[in-house]
């Protein structure tokens, strides 16, 4: 029987992966259970497992600008440690990565083989993590890049919009950041599909299909909740200055799914409607 190890298992994606792998032999370790920056601890945790799914990450994008060393330890060194340990066990590794490895200057979807071009500390540390995984366990590793995640077990943009809808007549939402809102339930299922299919190793983009701005997503959320979407007004990123620059264009291409004979993830609107029906965006 295949034995799975999930690191970062108490996060939004990690919890949904536990559900997606229900009934299988799964070890789920959160941040308090395993320090991925400790190589000896990582080797001990990985021992006896056939598949490692690394959801452990320093995800505080803005804080990383002034704490890049700390972010690097988790996102780069931690990933290297897991890759080294996986290699020693001849185990498969799924490395969860991000659209932030790109600069967001593209105008067409990023192909899986597009070179890294990060513009933030967070992006640099995640890109380094990808490089370490390829160097240490490339023959048995999947890199799954995702973006704009939301789920029941963490803060999410849609929930924020609905909370604001209860206290404000109108909301200003940026229309110059474009990407793919992605439900962690769909991503977890896609990762399991990838592993079960024994697809070729390499990079896969794990995002719901289609294209949306934050403005588009907010309007869709309002419509699902029965609010007037006209209450959502467009603005641009200059109205919300943050420490870390955001990629303006975070649309990821899905060619490698087709090449592996697998269906990519469903469209973002269908996923968001299903998430809403499942109560993911409930604010109380």
Q: What is the pLDDT of residues 134-187, one digit of tens each?
A: 999 999 999 999 999 999 998 888 888 888 888 899 999 999 999 999 999 999
Q: How far apart are CA 46 and CA 34, in angstroms?
A: 10
With H, G, I as helix, E, B as strand and everything else as coil, classify residue 66. coil
Identify whether 117 is part of a domain.
yes
**Domain assignment of residue 184, given as a range:** 3-156+180-210+251-266
Give the DSSP H or E segment for 16.
helix 12-20
Q: For position 120, which CATH number holds?
A: 3.40.50.720
Q: What is the pLDDT of residues 113-122, one digit of tens each?
A: 999 999 999 9
Identify whether 217 is part of a domain.
no
**How many folded domains does the chain comprise?**
1
pLDDT of amino acid 283: 64
Identify whether 235 is part of a domain.
no
Identify whether 240 is part of a domain.
no
Give which of 12, 6, 1, 7 is closest to 192, Cα–Cα.
6
Name the phi and psi angles at 247, rounded to 5.
Answer: -65, 130
C-alpha dihedral (92, 197, 31, 136), degrees to nearest 10: 30
Identify whether 224 is part of a domain.
no
Q: How far apart are CA 58 and CA 64, in angstroms?
A: 8
Q: Give the CA count within 13 Å in the CB-facing half-sphere of 41.
A: 11
List b or e across 55-70, with b for residues whose CB sees 16 or more CB atoms inside 10 angstroms: bbbbbebebbbeebeb
Q: What is the pLDDT of residues 176-224, one digit of tens each?
A: 999 999 999 999 999 999 999 989 999 999 999 999 999 999 999 999 9
Identify whether 225 is part of a domain.
no
Residues forming the active site: 122
Identify whether 64 is part of a domain.
yes
Structure tokens given for 143: 């890199």
């Amino acid at each position: 029987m295949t034995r799975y190890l999930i690191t970062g298992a108490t996060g939004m994606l990690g919890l949904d992966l536990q559900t997606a792998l229900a009934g299988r032999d799964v070890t789920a370790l959160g941040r308090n259970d395993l320090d991925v920056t400790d190589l000896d601890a990582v080797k001990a945790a990985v021992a006896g497992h056939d598949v490692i799914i690394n959801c452990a990450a320093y995800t505080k994008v803005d804080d990383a600008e002034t704490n890049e060393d700390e972010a690097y330890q988790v996102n780069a060194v931690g990933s290297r440690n897991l890759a080294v340990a996986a290699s020693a066990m001849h185990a498969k590794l799924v490395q969860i990565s991000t659209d932030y490895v790109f600069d967001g200057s593209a105008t067409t979807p990023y192909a899986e083989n597009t070179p890294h071009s990060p513009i933030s500390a967070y992006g640099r540390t995640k890109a380094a993590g990808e490089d370490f995984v390829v160097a240490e366990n490339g023959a048995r590793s999947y890199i799954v890049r995702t973006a704009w995640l939301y789920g029941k077990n963490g803060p999410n943009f849609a929930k924020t919009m609905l909370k604001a809808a209860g206290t404000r007549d109108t909301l200003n939402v940026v229309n110059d950041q474009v990407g793919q809102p992605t439900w962690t339930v769909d991503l977890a299922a896609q990762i399991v599909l990838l592993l079960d299919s024994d697809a070729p190793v390499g990079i896969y983009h794990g995002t719901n299909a289609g294209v949306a701005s934050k403005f588009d997503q907010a309007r869709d959320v309002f419509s699902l909740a029965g609010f007037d979407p006209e209450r959502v007004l467009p603005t641009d990123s200059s109205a919300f200055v943050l420490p870390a620059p955001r990629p303006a264009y975070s649309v990821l291409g899905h060619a490698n799914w087709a090449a592996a004979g697998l269906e990519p993830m469903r469209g973002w609107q269908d996923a968001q409607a299903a998430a809403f029906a499942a109560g993911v965006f409930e604010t109380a």
